[in-house]
Copies of this chain bind each other. A is one copy, B any other.
């Protein structure tokens, strides 16, 4: 027996959301896609630390529907215009006994549903502490799931592709190169969670606009195929400290029978607040190179003095090991390379003191973010970069000591402005200080957002590594140009690495929340190149590395390999030099999570198009119609593809390049090797 049922549909009429209140006043919702239930009745609510709840004994006092339809322009993005179109249903709930009020707001888009809890200003609820959120996602079957374990401190896992009933975090290989792990339970997984039903429906559960709230992981009931929100706790087990008026982040459920609707969705961005930065003229896309991969391959070190105990030694007294990467001289080499090849920026890691003894010991004061090593002359480097027209990218590794970073943040940003660095890459490798906090808790979510906001005060762009994964906050603060917050390319240099399917899943998961600094472009794929004893390799062909510049959207893109490696393959390198990082249009041509992805994009303000096609460990052929090209115009297509005998394991560097003339009626046959890809640049041929 239910009362007070309410419904709202997407503008396409394909998705229907039904809200009900049970006899005991428990709110629940159901989601239908093309008239079939895809989320069965699922209860909603909040538990408070004082022992009470906002999950039952509610009465529906009112409800309201609304329609919203606007088009907005992101500062940087996959497309120049984004449509934000949804129907909204708000339920006004009140507990008659306690007098407490809570609203549940649903928004139904063409590709999915979002809801959140609103806590209006009221006499009976001011400050409150959330001990648990109990939002359910009751699935309609034993779907295929791409999951990683619910880890409060790391999202740098590969994805496990199993049936829902086979989710089990105790079965994963923990020898995976992740430095700090805090796996929270046998059946807890992370969101975004991508799924596919037996009837070929694609489902995705995620969240948007995580602000002043912890990250939501998901508790899987593997028998009943039900997910329940699992908020990340703080040092003393509390989840969130709130004051009315306030609201939770949006919980999102995307559903479609076409995987392309999910991977191309802008729902997460749409659920975030518009930009709070008025003048965004200083926010620019950047392609960059840097002193970074040479440390991952073992050619150089971040530290200046090896393993010497630097505890009581000043930088001037340390004896250089001779392997330090971030020298003035080496930096100038990268600046020269960037200038010659048209890159916007140069990142230098290991430029500042502290790296002799920085990791793994929960040490509070490691870096001061302003003191360079003796062999890195920041003034000289800056002058040289200015002269060459190249921007320097700052690096702030915090070693997880957020308390220390916040104490130094104004000084660190002042230092960047003094030396004209427009962007910073932050890092959070290590257990968090304040001790007891996790990377994904409310404290850290607030920290990551705080850094972005404070950077905006200084007109600085932020690329955060080891942060909680973005949930669209880059709409609100467009200077948050990229984040890592997933397993990046570097893991393949020194660990079991990323399997070929990894990059076919990320766009369905991590990338929904914002751009990723994945650092593609590795040409010397096997680590035996550097050290004959090494077995590690990037699980890719060379051509696939090119395709990633299109399939992994980011306005900040690194050409991650060493300059000397690019100089050996100038024809392939040409694609990286040409490809854009900011776009007018994006079209998702083919998509299947875990299998393949083909995207084509039009570079912002130009007539040039770039296509990227990737596959997993299976070779793949397909035919692409070029009907995205403007009619009646001729284009030169340069096709960078796997050679016939290419194979990510046996022959990863085998590629070929061909140039053909095409128009909107043309088709191109793609042939991707196992672990391979194809990249194509289309440039208008002037009549």
Which A residues fall within an 8 A CB radius of B? 121, 126-127, 234-236, 238, 241, 243-245, 309, 311-312, 361-364, 403, 406-407, 409-411, 434-437, 443, 446, 450
- The reply to whether B234 and A435 form a contact with Cβ atoms under 8 Å apart is yes
Taking A241-B362, A311-B121 as contacts, is the C-beta distance between A436 and B235 under 8 angstroms?
yes
- The reply to whether A407 and B450 form a contact with Cβ atoms under 8 Å apart is yes
Across the interface, name the chain B residue whose C-beta is closest to A129: B362
List chain B residues, Cβ under 8 A from A361: 126-127, 243
A437 CB contact (under 8 Å) in B409, B410, B434: B434
Please report the C-alpha to C-alpha distance between residue A234 and residue B245 in the assembled complex, in whole angstroms: 31
Please report the C-alpha to C-alpha distance between residue A619 and residue B474 in the assembled complex, in whole angstroms: 72
- The reply to whether A241 and B364 form a contact with Cβ atoms under 8 Å apart is yes
List chain B residues, Cβ under 8 A from A238: 435
List chain B residues, Cβ under 8 A from A311: 121, 243-245
A409 → chain B closest CB, angstroms: 7
- The reply to whether A234 and B436 form a contact with Cβ atoms under 8 Å apart is yes
A411 CB contact (under 8 Å) in B241, B245, B363, B410: B410
List chain B residues, Cβ under 8 A from A245: 311-312
Given contacts A234-B435, A245-B312, A434-B443, 20 further A-B contacts (CB under 8 A): A121-B311, A121-B312, A126-B361, A127-B362, A234-B436, A235-B235, A235-B434, A236-B436, A238-B435, A241-B362, A243-B311, A243-B361, A245-B311, A403-B406, A403-B443, A406-B406, A406-B407, A407-B407, A434-B437, A436-B436
Across the interface, name the chain B residue whose C-beta is closest to A364: B241
A216 → chain B closest CB, angstroms: 20
Please report the C-alpha to C-alpha distance between residue A407 and residue B126 in the assembled complex, in whole angstroms: 25
- In the assembled complex, 17 residue pairs joining A and B whose CB atoms fall closer than 8 Å, in A order, are A127-B362, A127-B363, A234-B436, A235-B236, A235-B436, A241-B362, A241-B363, A241-B364, A243-B361, A243-B363, A244-B311, A245-B312, A403-B443, A406-B407, A410-B410, A434-B443, A436-B436
Please report the C-alpha to C-alpha distance between residue A410 and residue B121 in the assembled complex, in whole angstroms: 34
List chain B residues, Cβ under 8 A from A309: 121
A426 → chain B closest CB, angstroms: 15
- Nearest 8 interchain pairs by C-beta: A434-B434, A235-B235, A236-B436, A127-B361, A410-B410, A235-B436, A406-B407, A406-B406
Please report the C-alpha to C-alpha distance between residue A409 and residue B235 in the assembled complex, in whole angstroms: 24
- The reply to whether A435 and B235 form a contact with Cβ atoms under 8 Å apart is yes
A44 → chain B closest CB, angstroms: 25
Please report the C-alpha to C-alpha distance between residue A443 and residue B235 in the assembled complex, in whole angstroms: 14
Please report the C-alpha to C-alpha distance between residue A409 and residue B406 in the assembled complex, in whole angstroms: 10
List chain B residues, Cβ under 8 A from A362: 127, 241
A410 → chain B closest CB, angstroms: 4
Across the interface, name the chain B residue whose C-beta is closest to A244: B311
List chain B residues, Cβ under 8 A from A364: 241, 446
List chain B residues, Cβ under 8 A from A126: 361
List chain B residues, Cβ under 8 A from A244: 311
List chain B residues, Cβ under 8 A from A127: 361-363
- The reply to whether A241 and B410 form a contact with Cβ atoms under 8 Å apart is no
List chain B residues, Cβ under 8 A from A236: 235, 435-436
Taking A409-B407, A411-B410, A450-B407 as contacts, is the C-beta distance between A435 and B241 under 8 angstroms?
yes
A559 → chain B closest CB, angstroms: 35
Across the interface, name the chain B residue whose C-beta is closest to A246: B311
- The reply to whether B241 and A403 form a contact with Cβ atoms under 8 Å apart is no
Please report the C-alpha to C-alpha distance between residue A364 and residue B241 in the assembled complex, in whole angstroms: 9
Please report the C-alpha to C-alpha distance between residue A312 and residue B120 in the assembled complex, in whole angstroms: 12
A543 → chain B closest CB, angstroms: 46
Please report the C-alpha to C-alpha distance between residue A406 and residue B407 in the assembled complex, in whole angstroms: 5
Across the interface, name the chain B residue whose C-beta is closest to A238: B435
Please report the C-alpha to C-alpha distance between residue A243 and residue B243 in the assembled complex, in whole angstroms: 40
Across the interface, name the chain B residue whose C-beta is closest to A437: B434
- The reply to whether A434 and B241 form a contact with Cβ atoms under 8 Å apart is no
Across the interface, name the chain B residue whose C-beta is closest to A406: B407
Across the interface, name the chain B residue whose C-beta is closest to A360: B127
A245, A362, A436, A446, most chain B CB atoms within 10 A: A436
Please report the C-alpha to C-alpha distance between residue A309 and residue B446 in the assembled complex, in whole angstroms: 23
Across the interface, name the chain B residue whose C-beta is closest to A410: B410
Taking A121-B311, A245-B312, A312-B245 as contacts, is the C-beta distance between A403 and B363 under 8 angstroms?
no
Please report the C-alpha to C-alpha distance between residue A238 and residue B235 in the assembled complex, in whole angstroms: 12
A218 → chain B closest CB, angstroms: 25
Please report the C-alpha to C-alpha distance between residue A300 and residue B241 in the assembled complex, in whole angstroms: 31
Across the interface, name the chain B residue whose C-beta is closest to A457: B411
List chain B residues, Cβ under 8 A from A363: 127, 241, 243
A200 → chain B closest CB, angstroms: 46
List chain B residues, Cβ under 8 A from A403: 403, 406, 434, 443
List chain B residues, Cβ under 8 A from A436: 234-236, 436
List chain B residues, Cβ under 8 A from A409: 407
Please report the C-alpha to C-alpha distance between residue A626 and residue B199 in the assembled complex, in whole angstroms: 102
Please report the C-alpha to C-alpha distance between residue A409 and residue B409 in the assembled complex, in whole angstroms: 10
A404 → chain B closest CB, angstroms: 9
Please report the C-alpha to C-alpha distance between residue A140 and residue B411 in the assembled complex, in whole angstroms: 54
List chain B residues, Cβ under 8 A from A443: 403, 434-435
List chain B residues, Cβ under 8 A from A434: 235, 403, 434, 437, 443
Please report the C-alpha to C-alpha distance between residue A238 and residue B436 in the assembled complex, in whole angstroms: 10
Across the interface, name the chain B residue whose C-beta is closest to A411: B410
A52 → chain B closest CB, angstroms: 17
List chain B residues, Cβ under 8 A from A243: 311, 361, 363
A307 → chain B closest CB, angstroms: 12
Please report the C-alpha to C-alpha distance between residue A234 and residue B406 in the assembled complex, in whole angstroms: 20
List chain B residues, Cβ under 8 A from A437: 434
A241, A243, A434, most chain B CB atoms within 10 A: A434
Please report the C-alpha to C-alpha distance between residue A236 and residue B434 in the assembled complex, in whole angstroms: 10
Please report the C-alpha to C-alpha distance between residue A234 and residue B437 in the assembled complex, in whole angstroms: 12
A455 → chain B closest CB, angstroms: 13
Across the interface, name the chain B residue whose C-beta is closest to A243: B311
A577 → chain B closest CB, angstroms: 41
List chain B residues, Cβ under 8 A from A121: 309, 311-312
Please report the C-alpha to C-alpha distance between residue A309 and residue B409 in the assembled complex, in whole angstroms: 31
List chain B residues, Cβ under 8 A from A435: 234-236, 238, 241, 443
